[in-house]
Amino acid sequence: MDAQYKQVKKSATTSSKLKTHLSAIFACSVLYIFLCLIYLPTYVFRWIISKIVPKLWPQYEKIIFSSNAYYIASDDIYSSPKCTILVGPVFPGGASVSIEKLRLDFTTKILQARKANGEILYPEMTQVPVKCCGFHFWKSLSNFKIEDYVRELLPSNKEFNAREIESIQNDLTFRPYEEEKCLWECLLLRNCNLSQQRDSELSSIVFFRMHHSLTDGYSALNIISQLSDSYRCVQYDKPMGNISSTRILKNVYESFILFTVGFYQLVHKMLESGDDNEWHPTNEGGIRLTKDYKLAQMEIPVSIELIKSVRMKHSVSFTSVVIASMAGAIRKLMRKTNYNIPQEMHALYPLPIPDHPEELTNHL
């Protein structure tokens, strides 16, 4: 009887997988038709608008990249943002960081930074998003003042413990942005007690928050790392040498794989990722989510050398170790809170890819 049940279950699983594969192929076919009939003409029209609008209205300086514009169009920036990047490097010494020096460094190293051709590297840092002809553009602020964006977060005569700092981080992550102001802030918090012990050395934290429509986490780390030698971010190796014919052929091949295998894998994962567990319950009315977002963070930093040693020991990639660690952390948390651990769970991990441009963009 048990063998018969297993055979029926295996047959049902095989049938379900075949159905998912066929659905993915059908969805890809519809997607390709959509790309040809709607997306490509829209993209051409967008390119025309990006050239005409700045000439007719010079205040609209540059159209916002598609990857960045997505975060503006899909997020409630001025009421309830969900796409904020928050970086908070810690500096030893409760009052060692000068707000005047921080403003000076931010102005000279970030706002006035230039490309090799002399153009401003981060013009979006002094601009706001505006809409014109159905698309978002960057518009420069005429009344930009560094004092409005680089400032002290709270009075420095108070000591903040780890729990209070966590609450501050959660507030900064979901705090609405002000209209007609740039989508970033650099906030100094002094007298932070991170060790949770009395009479321990106090630190200062420089919270750098920016909306995802400006850039991704990689660029945010690069920006904050330029403010002080006390904080360094991981630099990714870039290919050396000029682009050759071999590289061009490789790009053509990779583009072909993206629009064939890549689309199929994306659609297939979306179709099979209908999870049903205690974190993501379903019922007859469909998926039921609370939409109550919380900030999760690591209390103990993870050593890069530790990840590299695990990678070498098991002959896997650096990314594989990070993803496996995240999966283990989710499982451990579910066990700790007495949730039933499902057989599988789907999650989305935003990861950087090589050759990140020096400009502000979402290169994911």
DSSP 220-264: HHHHHHTT-TT---PPPP---S---HHHHHHHHHHHHHIIIIIHH
What is the band of 233 on the pLDDT scale with cuts at 50, 70, 90? very low
Averaged pLDDT for residues 331-345: 85
Give the per-residue pLDDT at 144.
92
Determine the average pLDDT of the residues in 330-359.
Answer: 81
| Of residues 260, 215, 258, the one with CA closest to residue 359 | 215
Mean pLDDT of the chain: 79
**Whether residue 195 has pLDDT greater than 90:** no
pTM surpassing 0.75? no
Predicted confidence band of residue 244 (pLDDT cuts 50, 70, 90) = very low
Residue 136's DSSP bridge partners are: 131
In this predicted structure, the answer to whether residue 266 has a pLDDT above a threshold of 60 is: yes
- Per-residue pLDDT, averaged over 43-65, amounts to 89
**Is residue 224 a contact partner of residue 206, using CB atoms and an 8 Å limit?**
yes
16-25, 28-37, 138-147, 285-294 — most confident range = 138-147
All structural domains of the chain with their residue ranges: 57-225, 302-364
∠ CA 155-296-237 to the nearest 5 degrees?
95
Average pLDDT over residues 49-63: 89
- By mean pLDDT, which of 18-32, 66-80, 198-212 is the weakest? 18-32
pLDDT interval class at 319 (50, 70, 90): confident
Maximum mean pLDDT: which of 106-110, 295-299, 354-358: 106-110
Tell me what pLDDT residue 295 has: 62
Give the chain's count of helices (H) and strands (E).
10, 10
Say how far apart CA 153 and CA 36 lie, in whole Å. Answer: 50
- The residue among 51, 176, 68, 45 whose CA lies nearest residue 127 is 68
Report pLDDT for 245: 45
Q: State residue 208's pLDDT score.
A: 92
Query: Are residues 167 and 177 in contact, defined by beta-carbon separation less than 8 angstroms?
Result: no
Q: Which of the two residues, 17 and 153, has the higher pLDDT score?
A: 153
Tell me which range, 218-222, 235-239, 275-279, 294-298, is most confidently predicted by mean pLDDT: 218-222
Give CA–CA dist 214/62, Å, rounded.
13
Q: Work out the average pLDDT over 333-345.
A: 84
Q: What CATH superfamily is the domain 57-225? A: Chloramphenicol acetyltransferase-like domain (3.30.559.10)
Calculate the dihedral angle through the C-alpha atoms of 264, 266, 271, 272, rounding to the nearest 10 degrees: 100
Residue 183 confidence (pLDDT) above 80: yes
pLDDT, tens only, 106-153: 999 999 999 888 889 999 999 999 998 888 999 999 889 999 999 999
